Chain A
Amino acid sequence: MSDMNQAMVEKYRSSFLKEVEANVEEGHWVKMCMQCGVCSGSCPLGPHWEHPPQEIFMMIRAGKREDVLSSSSMWMCTSCYNCIARCPRGLPITHIMHGLANYSKRLGLQPKNQPTAKFSQLFWNNLTKTGRVNELKLGLSLYFMNGIGPGIKTALKMQDVGLGMLKTGRLNPLEILGGHSIKDKSGLQKMLKKAFEIEEAKIAEYKG
């Protein structure tokens, strides 16, 4: 085969679909989409998506790797499950969207300063530190997510809520000192580290 032929074959090879099937949670469902559009029309946040789910599926099949993985669209999903309930082909669309978001994050392709991505990272860091969610620290880290100034502003705005939670015993101020933890903290962290290594090795070839 001539070089030009090879180039054309490469151009039309749906390698991105295969990549999605291999690495994205529920990614093997993408090929089942019949482009009816019911998911996009049913999405309550639909108008705010750059590309609605049905278009994302088509873009995956068309090999638009960069456009899909750097899109903010799948980060807009609020897990309302309307799309899954209505999809005539039974695609787990919500899960695919989360899978795509997760995959783009692992490759470092997610849009910069995407709030959902930022929050997810904060939550993950908070959770994996002790094996338990430290709600006080999570709340505070959210307040200061966008810097000191806005953080103080938000904290002042929310102080009544915070005090109310303190009074009713819904928030423990001592959590600031490190907080409660699971029994085998280091065991959990070792396990997560190993899992991370395995996952990284799996996607190494796809990392730009």
Chain B
Amino acid sequence: MSEVIATNQTILVVGGGISGLTAALEAAECGKQVILLEKSPSVGGRVGQLHKYFPKLCVPSCGLEIQYRRLKANKNVRLLTMAEVTQISGDAGNFTVNVKVSPRYVNENCTACGECGKAVSAEFDDEFNYGMKKRKGAYLVSHMAYPQRFVIDPRIVAGDDGAKAKEACKYGAVELDMQEQNLNLNVGAVVWATGWKPYDAAKIQPYGYDRYDNVISNVEFERMLDPFGPTGGKIVRPSDGHAPKNIAFIQCAGSRDQNHLKHCSRICCMATLKQTTYVKDQLGDNCKSTVYYIDIRAIDRIDDFHRKVKEDANVTFVKSKVANITGGENGNVILNGVDTEGYNRYRTEHDLVVLATGMESTVPAGVFPAGININEHNFIELDGDSGIYGAGCSSDALDVNRAAQNATAAALRAIQVVTRVAGQEG
């Protein structure tokens, strides 16, 4: 790996999802030096795993591609993948950041030809598809991976598969003796944009995510729509692979709940409304959707979207937080509860349940210097003088649009810090 040059006029952006990319690019296009770190082998984050954006229902890969082109064209950004921050010390204008870079075992000669993937045989759960599918031990994270470079899974490096991958590579790109690296970076400001992860649905015990095959999470449902995804783009029941006829969407699955995430995750109402349009587009009148909700939080311009979905005769809304889910016949499940509009007790059978799981912050413990204010929801609170700024879903539960706006604001705060440093240093 070539040397990474950083000074206290450098901005460090941690996380290569839509927020991190945006913050890094906005700062770099203002002429600042930026180092962008990404933990996984490819940037793109959660957005890359989405089928469509709400409310415009356009394809996220389009926006990502624009960001990748900006990234490629900009000499001020240095991207490091498979890199994780382990410790930050110091103050605004002068931070020391310890970074651990895991070996990819593939160097820059890689052309993503795919020969190594064909040569190896061991398969592992595909993280990009939430384990709904297997991938090879030598793999490209996704078709949209950036950089377009394969990765060798550390679990095959020492075995036969590792040797096979090396042998198959015509470009000498496979380097099985690559080692973990530890870097010490001196930077002026940090934009923290490690984003979110879906709340672990198995923790919502009454909903039986771990007990019933046909209870899935909304991020898994999203993956089903990808033509290259685990189901080849088809909406199916995991238990038998048949198309569902009667889907239930359960809102606030893990959000707005003292037993789980206290905060409102903000995106799940719109995500579900959006997903009912997938059902409509693919299955038409052959499938009904029922949305169980406490209240639908689709405000201002996205309210139009909500109204439009309500006009769909195949979509029903039930104002009720489902109390529990029990097993039924043929892999079906039964939703039990009492609605709030009339206090009617229901016991409704569905053949597929999609839990609109909440957004859990991934801000880590034990990394930041003292004084960084992380709130009870594990989001970084804004402190103008701290030099460390949360961006996107590290600062609050946000949709893509608001995450990008928030990241731009964080970039501006970081720019102010390094500009002040530059002024002092003359």
Decide whether A and B assemble into one complex: yes
Is A42 close to B, CB under 8 A? yes
Is A179 close to B, CB under 8 A? no
Beyond A36-B321, A40-B323, whether A88 also contacts B343 by CB under 8 A is no
Tell me the residues in window 295-340 of chain B with beta carbons closer than 8 Å to chain A beta carbons: 320-324, 336-340
Q: Is A47 within 8 A of B345, CB to CB?
A: yes
Is A89 close to B, CB under 8 A? yes
Is B259 close to A, CB under 8 A? yes
Q: Is A41 within 8 A of B338, CB to CB?
A: yes
Beyond A41-B324, A46-B345, whether A36 also contacts B259 by CB under 8 A is no
Q: Is B340 within 8 A of A54, CB to CB?
A: yes
| Closest residue on chain A to residue B342 by CB atoms | A55
Q: Is A54 within 8 A of B259, CB to CB?
A: no
| Contact string against B for A residues 9-49, beta-carbon threshold 8 Å, 1 for contact and 0 otherwise | 00000000000000000000000001111101110001100
Is B256 close to A, CB under 8 A? yes
Q: Is A41 within 8 A of B258, CB to CB?
A: no
Is B252 close to A, CB under 8 A? yes
Q: Is A35 within 8 A of B322, CB to CB?
A: no
Q: Could you tell me the distance between the alpha carbons of A31 and B294 in the complex, rounded to whole angstroms?
A: 16
Q: Is A46 within 8 A of B338, CB to CB?
A: yes
Is A63 close to B, CB under 8 A? no
| Closest residue on chain A to residue B255 by CB atoms | A88
Residues of A with C-beta under 8 A to B322:
38, 41
| Closest residue on chain A to residue B254 by CB atoms | A88
Tell me the residues in window 234-269 of chain B with beta carbons closer than 8 Å to chain A beta carbons: 252, 256-260
Residues of A with C-beta under 8 A to B320:
36-37, 41
- Chain B CB count within 10 A is highest, among A35, A37, A55, for A37
B-side interface residues, number (CB < 8 Å): 20
User: Main SS of chain B's interface residues?
Assistant: loop
Is B206 close to A, CB under 8 A? yes
| Contact string against A for B residues 256-298, beta-carbon threshold 8 Å, 1 for contact and 0 otherwise | 1111100000000000000000000000000000000010000
Beyond A34-B294, A54-B343, whether A40 also contacts B338 by CB under 8 A is yes
Q: Is B337 within 8 A of A37, CB to CB?
A: yes
Q: Is A37 within 8 A of B259, CB to CB?
A: no
Q: Is B258 within 8 A of A52, CB to CB?
A: no
Q: Is A88 within 8 A of B257, CB to CB?
A: yes
Is A51 close to B, CB under 8 A? yes
Tell me the residues in window 23-49 of chain B with beta carbons closer than 8 Å to chain A beta carbons: none
Is A86 close to B, CB under 8 A? yes
Is A164 close to B, CB under 8 A? no
Report 25 cross-chain contacts, Cβ distance below 8 Å, ordered by A residue.
Answer: A34-B294, A36-B294, A36-B320, A36-B340, A37-B320, A37-B323, A37-B338, A37-B343, A38-B321, A38-B322, A40-B323, A41-B321, A41-B322, A41-B323, A41-B324, A41-B336, A41-B345, A46-B338, A46-B345, A47-B345, A52-B338, A52-B345, A54-B338, A54-B340, A88-B260
Apart from A36-B252, A41-B322, list 10 A-B contacts with CB within 8 A.
A35-B294, A37-B320, A38-B321, A42-B324, A52-B338, A54-B340, A86-B323, A87-B258, A88-B321, A89-B258
Could you list which residues of chain B lie within 8 angstroms of chain A, going by C-beta atoms?
206, 252, 256-260, 294, 320-324, 336-340, 343, 345
Could you list which residues of chain A lie within 8 angstroms of chain B, going by C-beta atoms?
34-38, 40-42, 46-47, 51-52, 54-55, 85-90
The 9 closest A-B pairs by CB, nearest first: A41-B323, A41-B337, A36-B321, A88-B257, A40-B338, A42-B323, A90-B258, A37-B320, A36-B294
